[in-house]
Structure 1
């Protein structure tokens, strides 16, 4: 099953296991999500990206309980979201989930203040005076306190989204889910909304955001890429960004996970190169033997970095010894044949790999000869 690597935090706040979502229609069944297995951790700002129809919105609707899985499990904290009744779900969602929609969805006949107070009223959170004070506090936080008594129709779209964020925070939920929250905003307003999300991360919130905005997606803590209803390994995405989403998904399925203990050798200098490796957790050390026989660590590679491309691209034996660093390492390996087949499909990736292989080889030779360490 596709697995999204994590930040190393031991206890995820959201756990999705073996998730399948199939919709039935007169034209037949259509599976939107296929065996999704992914975790989200406290304090993360995760961007969920992918082409239209890839399953992004369906995935986050599973987290909030707006939609239910056909198979699989969704846990938020210790709560089994997938097994709750509708009545249980409504109260639980109001207390534990902040949801920000693309089209704001403020109630048009309520003032902005009343819109922010509504989740507190619905979930019977706080006393009546406290609800008013908290709503005003949240409106001040999003710089909308001066408009508190206006109706949504009297303010701009960007201002409505600010209020929608305040409403999502009404009951102080640990998780905020946002579906294209900047999709209907101009770039300046979108930047302001994104800055508010970054402030919420600083306050300890966890945010899962669907976005098509590539500039915003680059600024999140972690990216989850969905292609054809499946999760692409995030380190494939980072290591080979020139691949198409479908090619990334194919590589994800071909990768073989490997774990190495501290100090364990992965590649030995002068041995034949037979795999392309991507680091997914921990670090590796690149060690070279100097002319005087001294073994020197010249660099370390962490998650998202790769090695083995020099040997495969240039058909040569290993130019350095690569071993697990002190904390051990996990890597994902692609064999020689699959690596060659991938490069044959993507000229951009081949060109990038050729450039990097030549660059890294020159760096290694210079380091070995003592020109730089």
Structure 2
């Protein structure tokens, strides 16, 4: 039956995913449970983003918002010019088939179809690829993931890693600009997981937007950046990078009690003798601090922390700090920082750096 409803065109490779103030509540017998709490996030072409967090942090729910499998209670999910959550269920399903490649943890291959037939199936459903080109395209995709000698085998006849590779080929069937994978390596050995991540890296290099939910921190380090979730909220990436010794709830607390400061080139952040309100986390740009006694300059870039010595020792700053270029820092509230330092290995770990003269 022909689809009569008008759908947005397939996005160009240069379009992005934007999530704005996403809230998701589920009704339970005990009352409403809020799983996502005002999430803001963006994902851009050519990015390979790891979505990371403990079990129950909201990772899979966030993915369901992006794929249109579920709708937010409030907020917007926009991919290209399309507000995905505003589409009807049937339109959303067809839009998803044209624009998204989805890779599941448990492969979801149809057991009675060969790997070749499984890869062709999305093309048959969406109708985007001409019928005469579907088999050759499926064969080429299976070759790209190393399955050229297994195309006529049923899923049960190949290994778990080969099934996941076939699932990736299937996700690429309609040449979607966005690939979203939910724990795609959760059931694979480390060597096969490395291979699967290598495929994702290659796809990102082609300009596709790749989002991978993973619980494996080592694999997450291979992504171009990570979106770290805790209790349904996003931890500021600079906080996570600068203070990796904190637990996720502690990182989220630090995020809540930080405020951004934008600096122009040459603008001062701190001066000798000043009493600091807290500590600074560099988000972007380059800052230079000059010690009052030696006059020796030291430059620090993103994801570094400034001011912990002065603040924890209760003394004024002993260095001048200014932006070398337009920069952004976070000011983390001093009382919160002191409490975090008292209840973690933060003080000892930061003392090892020896680079903060403030």
TM-score if structure 2 supplies the norm length? 0.92
Partner residue, 1:341: 339
Q: Which moved more, 1:218-227 or 1:98-107?
A: 218-227
Cα offset for 1:172? 1.1
Partner residue, 2:348: 351
Query: Contact 1:22–1:30 at 8 Å: present in 2 too?
Result: yes
Query: Contact 1:45–1:201 at 8 Å: present in 2 too?
Result: yes
Cα offset for 1:289? 5.7
Cα offset for 1:274? 3.1
Within the alignment, does 1:240 sit opposite 2:243 as a pair?
yes
Cα offset for 1:248? 0.8
**Structure 1: 5+ residue stretches without partners:** 1-10, 366-373
Query: Contact 2:292–2:318 at 8 Å: present in 1 too?
Result: no
Within the alignment, does 1:58 sit opposite 2:73 as a pair?
no
Partner residue, 2:355: 360
Cα offset for 1:285? 2.0
Within the alignment, does 1:15 sit opposite 2:10 as a pair?
no
SS at match of 1:22: strand
- Distance in 1 separating the partners of 2:260 and 2:149: 55
Query: Contact 2:57–2:231 at 8 Å: present in 1 too?
Result: yes
- Distance in 1 separating the partners of 2:35 and 2:292: 52
Partner residue, 2:6: none
Q: Deviations over 1:109-129 (max 9, x none)?
A: 111111111111111112112
Partner residue, 2:198: 195
Q: 1:13 to 1:285 in 2, by over 3 A?
A: same
Q: Deviations over 1:111-158 (max 9, x none)?
A: 111111111111111211211111111001001011111111111110
Q: 1:120 to 1:72 in 2, by over 3 A?
A: same
Within the alignment, does 1:110 sit opposite 2:113 as a pair?
yes
Partner residue, 2:4: none
SS at match of 2:106: coil
SS at match of 2:65: helix
Q: 1:135 pairs with 138, 153, 156, which one?
A: 138
Q: Deviations over 1:54-73 (max 9, x none)?
A: 11000011001011111110
Cα offset for 1:313? 2.6
Partner residue, 1:269: 272
- Distance in 2 separating the partners of 1:171 and 1:146: 22
Q: Deviations over 1:45-104 (max 9, x none)?
A: 111111111110000110010111111100111110111111111111111111100000
Q: Which portions of structure 1, spanning 4 or more consecutive aligned residues, are displaced by more than 6 angstroms?
A: none
Cα offset for 1:288? 4.1
Larger relative helix fraction: 1
Q: Deviations over 1:159-202 (max 9, x none)?
A: 00000001111111111111000000011111111111111111
Within the alignment, does 1:125 sit opposite 2:125 as a pair?
no
- Distance in 1 separating the partners of 2:57 and 2:15: 24
Partner residue, 2:3: none
Query: Contact 1:112–1:148 at 8 Å: present in 2 too?
Result: yes
Within the alignment, does 1:175 sit opposite 2:170 as a pair?
no
- Distance in 1 separating the partners of 2:15 and 2:154: 39
Within the alignment, does 1:94 sit opposite 2:97 as a pair?
yes
TM-score if structure 1 supplies the norm length? 0.88
Query: Contact 1:12–1:39 at 8 Å: present in 2 too?
Result: no
Partner residue, 1:164: 167
SS at match of 1:332: strand
Query: Contact 1:269–1:318 at 8 Å: present in 2 too?
Result: yes
**Structure 2: 5+ residue stretches without partners:** 1-13
Note the aligned Cα RMSD (angstroms): 1.7
The count of residues paired between Structure 1 and Structure 2 equals 345
SS at match of 1:147: coil
Q: Which moved more, 1:317-326 or 1:141-150?
A: 317-326
Query: Contact 2:54–2:230 at 8 Å: present in 1 too?
Result: yes
Cα offset for 1:286? 2.3
